[in-house]
Amino acid sequence: MAVDITYLGHSGFLIRDTNQPEYAVAIDPFLTGNDSAKHTPDDIKCSHIVISHGHADHFGDDTFAIAKKNSAPVFGVFELAEFCTTQGVEAVEPMNPGGQVQTPFGFVALTDAVHSSSYQGQYMGVATGIILNIGGVTIYHAGDTALFRGMKTIRKLYKPNVAMLPIGDRFTMGPDHAARAAEMISPKFVIPMHYNTWPIIEQDPATFHPPAISTQIMAAGDTWHYGG
């Protein structure tokens, strides 16, 4: 069991199955208009895309371009998936929180998130977190969210090995709440995200230190190998 996790900046990740490298999942790729990004949409080679919610720092033209170029299906909440089809994306996997879809590499599930979701003024369904099982590794990408008690249930249901948690505050948890979230989820590793993209979500990631959990701080463009 092993994956290669590339941080695309902000809340974007590319997660590749080390042993079956034809399977790579892009989560919330936000590259155009993201000064921290080291990749362009053309650089992203993926087989699948999963989107947490409709806000433009997670979803939009980059999603559509990457989906089309790679013939990659887009997984997301029902309204968001429907919107993708109106933008010419051919394959979508509409879902809702609590649902799971089997894939050739494992599965994708959506969880609750406490947050809003819209795109260009249009309702995009509820905001979600993402569970990705790939290469025998289970990853919880919390999306944009507040701390909520259901994270304990997420731990019980999925036992994630790695969790990506927002720490930027203002729109999501800040470092203190994210540390509480990490305790509730209890993964082996936690990766902070959704900070320092703009001054209004500036944070020192060193202030995020959940006890007894290893923190993997990544810079945009970094790739980290997790597993055997």
CB of 3 to Ni ion, least distance (A): 25
CB of 79 to Mn ion, least distance (A): 17
Spatial neighbors of 135 by CB under 8 A, at least 6 apart, are: 1, 2, 3, 16, 17, 18, 19, 20, 23, 105, 106, 227
The 8-47 site mask, x for binding Mn ion (CB under 5 A), equals ----------------------------------------
- Residues 55, 141, 177, 194: which binds Ni ion (CB under 5 A)? 55
First to last CA, the chain: 6
Residue 79 binding result from Ni ion, Mn ion, none, given CB thresholds of 5 to 8 Å by partner type? none
Q: How far apart are CA 50 and CA 73, in angstroms?
A: 8
Q: According to the binding rule CB under 5 A, does residue 144 interact with Mn ion? A: yes
Binding positions for Ni ion, 77-136, rule CB under 5 A: none
The 135-154 site mask, x for binding Ni ion (CB under 5 A), equals ---------x----------
Q: According to the binding rule CB under 5 A, does residue 62 interact with Mn ion? A: no
Spatial neighbors of 76 by CB under 8 A, at least 6 apart, are: 50, 51, 52, 59, 84, 92, 93, 94, 95, 110, 125, 128
Among the candidate windows 56-64, 92-100, 174-182, 220-228, which touches Mn ion by CB under 5 A?
56-64
Cβ proximity to Mn ion: between 79 and 169 the closer is 169
- Residues 28, 57, 79, 112: which binds Mn ion (CB under 5 A)? 57
SS3 151: helix
Residues that bind Ni ion (CB under 5 A): 55, 144
